[in-house]
Amino acid sequence: MLRWVLVLLLAGSSPFAKAQEVRRDKDKEAGIHYYGKEFFLIEGTTIPDSLKESPYDRLPISYKNKVRTPVWELSKASAGISVRFLSNATTIKVKWELLNNARMNHMAETGIKGIDLYCRMDDRWQYVNTARPSGKENEALLINNMSSEKREYKMFLPLYDGVTKLEIGIDTLRKIEKPARSDRRPIVFYGTSITQGGCASRPGMAYTNIISRKLNVECVNYGFSGNGRMESAIADLLSEIDASFFVIDCLPNMLSPEIRKNAIPLVEIIRSKHPSTPIVFVEGLLHEKAFLDDTTKSRLNEKNRVLRSEYEKMLERGFTNIFYVDGKGALGDDHEGTVDGAHFTDLGFIRFADYLISKFEQYKLTVTTPNKN
């Protein structure tokens, strides 16, 4: 018994415990109250909380033994997931706990595991601030000294780490409300590290999140770094979603034989439940070194030729509402859109998002709502 008392006393006197106590006292003095997920709307996922280990996971728990281990582990990252809320707060803070406290040598930690705050201003989403991570348990002041008027806010969650807990702090005398969910069908993306958000400097700059803001629609992000391969398990999951349309951007992670093996079956699985929902295939972009490295250029061009061939077979088989997006000019012509010749900078993400939106418009792909009759 004495041993456990000593353990508790030591735990209570640890630097971490003392730091927590100091933060609580400061929040109390500042009049800050924190609210959990009951007070905000989680967007970017169509899976109910009850079917996931964490509300901010991207795959249901039933897929743990259905997908390959790397895919499952990557699905714990909250890429593309956001929370939306209404508040008349004059101060906004955020607390969040991370699954892994991940790090990479070519991506800013604010993008890997930070949180972005946006505010709706004049019918558009305007960036406010980024909560910077400092460890597995984090707390940040995002904005204060605001006038007390009701505004709509959106927080984009970490791209390459999981979130196990999230709380929004506002001044005690103010209110926070969960907004109504939009009845617009989401756009669903399936792809690679670039789809997941590598290497955006902050979460809001992933291209799916940019498209979400520009088109005012939820975007579901199934980007799996190094593991976007048009696999049947993910195709099954896609087929369960009532989407406006599907965007398949997997070529950087695939070899030519995999493209031949998986592209048409993926369409067949989706078409088994969605006979006419548009499916958009995006070809792979040339890595920067491919403009000088002939071997890399030949390999990447060959994969695009194979995808084009499979796409033409889909049309020959009578599949409709299947579209092909080539990559020419997707990042501009100055070769300044990547971190490492392949993964995008924020500039690259903005250009790619705008390029895809222009293609959606060209193909007359629109965000739809369910027929209520």
Q: What is the pLDDT of residue 38?
A: 97
Q: What mean pLDDT is predicted for residues 274-280? A: 98
% the chain with pLDDT above 90: 90
pLDDT of residue 23: 52
CB 169 within 8 A of CB 90: no
Over residues 92-113, the mean pLDDT reads 97
The pLDDT of residue 347 is 98
Predicted confidence (pLDDT) at residue 43 exceeds the cutoff of 50: yes
**pLDDT on residue 21:** 55
Q: Residue 48: pLDDT band by 50, 70, 90 thresholds? A: very high
Q: For the purposes of burial, counting CB atoms within 10 Å of the CB of 372, is it exposed (0-12), middle (13-18) or buried (19 or more)?
A: exposed
Residue pLDDT, tens place only, 239-271: 999 999 999 999 999 999 999 999 999 999 999
**Looking at the predicted structure, is the pLDDT value of residue 147 above 70?**
yes
> What was the pLDDT predicted at 105?
95
pLDDT over threshold 90, residue 205 = yes
pLDDT at 8: 37
Mean pLDDT value across the chain: 93
What are 367's two structure tokens?
Answer: 């965000």
Query: Which pLDDT score is estimated for 5?
Result: 38
In angstroms, the Cα distances linking 112 to 1, 109, 237, 337 are 43, 5, 25, 19
pLDDT bracket for residue 30 (50, 70, 90): low
Residue 25 has pLDDT above 60, yes or no: no
Q: Can you give the pTM of this predicted structure?
A: 0.92
Q: Is the pLDDT of residue 110 over 90?
A: yes
DSSP β-ladder status, 279-282 and 245-249 = parallel
Are 176 and 126 a contacting pair, CB within 8 Å?
no
Reported confidence tier of residue 371, pLDDT bands at 50, 70, 90: confident
Helix axes 207-215, 346-362, angle to 10 degrees: 50
pLDDT digits (tens, 9 = 90+) for 322-348: 999 999 999 999 999 999 999 999 999
pLDDT at 11 over 80: no
